[in-house]
Structure 1
Amino acid sequence: MNNRAVTIAITLSAFLLAACNTQSDPPPQTDEQALPKVNTVNVELSPNYVVQREYVGTVQAAQNAKLGFELGGKVDEFNVDVGDVVKKGQPLVTLDTQLLDNEARQLKAQLAQLDAQLDLVKTNLQRQRQLKKKGFSADAEIDSLTSQRDALLANIRQVDASLASNTLRKEKSTITAPYDGKISERFVSQGDVVNVGAPTVTLLANAKKEARIGVPVKFLDTLNSNDTATIRIGNNAYPATLLNPGAAINMQSRTVELRYLLPENVQAIDGQLAYLGFTFKTPMEGFWMPLTGLTDGLRGTWNIYAIVPDAEGGQFVSRRSIQVHYADEQKAYVSGAINDGDRVVADGVHRIVSGQHVDLVQE
C-alpha cells in the first residue's frame, strides 16, 4: 500500500469516529408524569327540585258561530268577506225575496177583498136591524149576516197572521251579526242556493278570547288550585284567569283541557299557539350538577366522578353510581352515592378513569 492510500484510510477513520462522538444522548427520564387537570364543583343537598313546565294549546274566540239561514233560498247579496270586522246587527248575507214579495202582495190583495166584503156585510146588517125595528125584517136574516161578519173577521185575522209570517220570513232572509266580531270563513257565494241551516260564514267574537290548553291529569289539582296563570303567546306574556277546572280527558291526547280567559288587550289570532307556564315542585332530596359531569354506566345507570384525597396529600377520582330524576339542557338533578359538600368532576369525564390521580384546576 502506498503512502497516499494510507493517508486516505486514516482520514476516513477519523471522520467516522468524530461522527459517532457527535450523536446526542437520550433525554433524561422523569420520575413523575404530569397529572391531568380537572374542573370540579361542590354539590349541595337540596330537599326538592323545582321544574318550570310549559304546555301548549290554542287561542280561541269565546263565540265561534257558523251562521246559516232558517229557510232555504238563493243568495242575493253578500256584504262581507273573510277578514272583515263587523258590528252587532250589521247585515251579512241576504237571500232573494222575490217570492216573498209576491206572496205579500197576494195576501194584501186578499185582505183588501175581505175588508170590502166585511164592510158590505156590516152595512147590510145595520140596515136589517133598522128594518126589524119597523117590523119588516126577520131574525133569520140578521143571524145570517152576523155569521158572515164573524167568518170574515176570522179570515182577516188569518190573512194578518200570514202577512206577519211573510214579514218574519223576509227579516230572516238577511243574516245579521249577533255580536261584534271578524269573519273567518266564507262557505257560499252570490247566486248559490242554500238549504235550511247550511253555514254561510263563520263569525269569531272580538271580545273574551280564551286559551284552551291540555294538561296531564297528574298536574290538574296543582293548576286548579291557582285561579290565575301566565299565558305566553308569541313573545308576549299575559295574565289569564281560569274559567273551568277541566271536565273530561281527551281520548287522543290523554290530557284535560283547561280554559283561560285572556285580557281584552291581547294581540292574538284565533288558532295561534298559546303556552301555559307554571312551576312544579317535587319533594325529593338530591343534588344539581352539570350534564357534562355525567357519564354512562352499566345497564342503563349513570356515573359521576368524585374527588377523594389520598394519604400522601394528593387526590384521585372515584366513580359513583347515581340516578337522574330530572334534566334540562345544562344540568341534572341526581341522587345516589354522593354526599352533601362532595367535590365532583364538572366536565371532561371521558379523559379520566376511576382511581386515577388528578390535579384540580384552581378557581
Structure 2
Amino acid sequence: MTKTSLALTLTPLLVLLAACGQKSDGAGGPGGAGGPPPVSVAPATQRQIQEFDEFTARLEAPDTVEVRSRVAGTVEAVRFKEGQLVRKGDPLFTIDTRAFRAEVARAEAQIAALKTQADLARTDLGRSEKLVSVNAVSQQEIDQLRSALRSAEANQKGAEAALVQARLNVEFANVTAPVSGRTSRANVTPGNLVGVGDAVLTTLVSSDRVHAYFDASEAAYLKYMRAAKPADVIVQMGLSNEQGYPHTGKLDFVDNRLNPATASIRARAVFDNKGGQFTPGLYARIKLGGSASYTGVVVPDRAINTDQTRKVVFIVGANNIVQPRPVTPGALFDGMRVVDGIKPGELVIVDGVQRAMPGAPVTPQVLKVDDKGMPIPAAAPAPAASK
C-alpha cells in the first residue's frame, strides 16, 4: 500500500476518534452522564428542642347565663342594646311593678293588724296572770291566753315573711345582669306578657376570659401529668386565620377520668379576653409544651427515607461516597425532624436521593440553611447571554 493511500485511510479514523474524545470529555464533567450524579446536601444542625403537642379546641365562655324572669308580668322596657357589654347588676328588662307594690302595701297593713292583735293578747295575758294569786282566773284561762299570744305572734311573723316576698317581687321586676359580659338579642319586646321562667329573655356570656376545651390522648395525659401541676404546662393558641400560636394561656382544668370509648380525657385552658377578640364557639389550635428543652440534632423531614421497617438517612461521607445511616426519628418542628444517629455537621442528602446509591460517589451541592436548619433552595442559574 502506498503512503498516499494509507494517509487517506487513517484520516477519517483519526477524525472519528477526536470527535469521540471531545464528546467523552464533555460528558465526564461534574454532573454529566459519565460522572457521579449531582445531589443537594445540607449539614445536620444542632439546636435547642422544646417538644410540644397540638390539639384542636373550641372556645367557650366561663359563664353562660340564660336570663329569665322570676316574676310574671308585662314587660315595660328593654334597658340594653343587643350585643352590648354590661356589668353585673346593670338593668336589662323592666316588668310592670304595680301589682307587686300593691301586694307590699297589703302585707304591710296585715302586719299592722296582726301586731295589734299580738299586743292585745300580750296585755290580756299580763292582766290575767295578776289575778291568779287571788284565784279570780283559772289555770285553763291562763293557758288559753298564752296560746292566743303565741298564735298572734306566729301570724305576725308569717305576714312579715309575705312582706319580704312581696318586696322581692318588686325587686325581681327589674331584671338585672347576673354576670358581666356581652348580651345576645332581646327575645321579648315591651308589651309582652312573661311568666316565671317560661321564656329566655336574653343570653349573657362573660367576655373577660375564654376557655378552650380539647381532648388529649391517654399517652399525652400521662406525659403532661409528670409536671408538678397543670399550671406548669405552657399553653399557646392560634385561631384559624392566624399564623402560629400568638396567644399564651394556662392549663387550669383536667377531667377526673378518661373516656374509655375514645381513650381520651377532656382538658381546658384559659386565656385572657379583655380585648374581646375571642368569641365563644370559635375553632382554635392548641399547642402544649411537653417537656423541658434539650439539645438535639435536626434534619429536614424530607431527608428521612424508609427502608423496609427502619428509617434511614443518606450521608455524603469521605470522597463523596453515599452512606446509609439508620436513625430514630423524634418530634417534628417547622419541617425539621429530631433524629438520633447523626452527628452535627454531617452532610445529609435532601434532594436527588433517587440518584444516590449506597457506596457510590455523588457530586454534592451544599445548600445554605436558615436559623432553624432548613435548607435554602439554590438560586436558579442566570440565563446565558445571547451572542
What range is the shorter-chain TM-score in? Answer: 0.5 to 0.7
Matched, 1:326 2:331: yes
Q: Using the alignment, how far apart are the partners of 1:326 and 1:115 within structure 2?
A: 81
Percentage of identical aligned residues: 19
- Is the contact made by 1:240 and 1:262 (CA closer than 8 Å) also made in structure 2? yes
Letter aligned with residue 183 of structure 1? T
> CA distance change for structure 1 residues 103 and 281 in 2, over 3 Å: closer, same or farther?
closer
Matched, 1:28 2:20: yes
The number of aligned residues is 321
Q: Provide structure 2 residue ranges, at least 5 long, that are not aligned to the other structure.
A: 1-11, 29-33, 129-135, 368-387
The aligned counterpart of 2:270 is 260
- Is the contact made by 1:238 and 1:266 (CA closer than 8 Å) also made in structure 2? no
1:295 to 291, 298, 305: 305
3-state SS of 2:165 partner = helix
Q: Using the alignment, how far apart are the partners of 1:259 and 1:217 within structure 2?
A: 14
Q: Using the alignment, how far apart are the partners of 1:304 and 1:118 within structure 2?
A: 99
**Offset of residue 70 of structure 1:** 3.3
Once the two structures are superposed, the pairs formed by residues 1-363 of structure 1 within 5 Å of their partners are 25=16, 27-29=19-21, 30=24, 32=28, 33-43=34-44, 50-97=50-97, 99-101=99-101, 103-104=103-104, 158-184=158-184, 186-190=186-190, 191-196=192-197, 198-215=199-216, 216-222=220-226, 225=229, 227=231, 229=234, 231-232=236-237, 234=239, 237-244=246-253, 246-249=255-258, 254-260=264-270, 262=272, 267-273=277-283, 275-281=285-291, 287-297=297-307, 299=308, 301-309=310-318, 314-335=319-340, 342-361=346-365
> CA distance change for structure 1 residues 76 and 248 in 2, over 3 Å: closer, same or farther?
farther
* TM-score, reference length from structure 1: 0.63
> CA distance change for structure 1 residues 266 and 196 in 2, over 3 Å: closer, same or farther?
closer
- Is the contact made by 1:59 and 1:211 (CA closer than 8 Å) also made in structure 2? yes
- Is the contact made by 2:230 and 2:253 (CA closer than 8 Å) also made in structure 1? no
Q: Using the alignment, how far apart are the partners of 1:305 and 1:152 within structure 2?
A: 100
Q: Using the alignment, how far apart are the partners of 2:343 and 2:85 within structure 1?
A: 64
Structure ID, larger Rg: 1
Letter aligned with residue 305 of structure 1? F
**Offset of residue 113 of structure 1:** 7.8
> CA distance change for structure 1 residues 184 and 103 in 2, over 3 Å: closer, same or farther?
same
Cα shift readout 1:51-75 (whole Å, capped 9, x = no counterpart):
3444443444443322323344554
Q: Provide structure 1 residue ranges, at least 5 long, that are not aligned to the other structure.
A: 1-20, 130-137
Letter aligned with residue 332 of structure 1? R
> CA distance change for structure 1 residues 248 and 187 in 2, over 3 Å: closer, same or farther?
farther
3-state SS of 1:162 partner = helix
* Structure 1 range deviating more: 219-228 or 166-175: 219-228
Q: Using the alignment, how far apart are the partners of 2:91 and 2:215 within structure 1?
A: 37
Letter aligned with residue 39 of structure 2? V
Cα shift readout 1:12-44 (whole Å, capped 9, x = no counterpart):
xxxxxxxxx9xx847314385233222334447
- Is the contact made by 1:75 and 1:194 (CA closer than 8 Å) also made in structure 2? no
Letter aligned with residue 220 of structure 1? Y
The aligned counterpart of 2:9 is none
- Is the contact made by 1:185 and 1:203 (CA closer than 8 Å) also made in structure 2? no
Letter aligned with residue 354 of structure 2? H
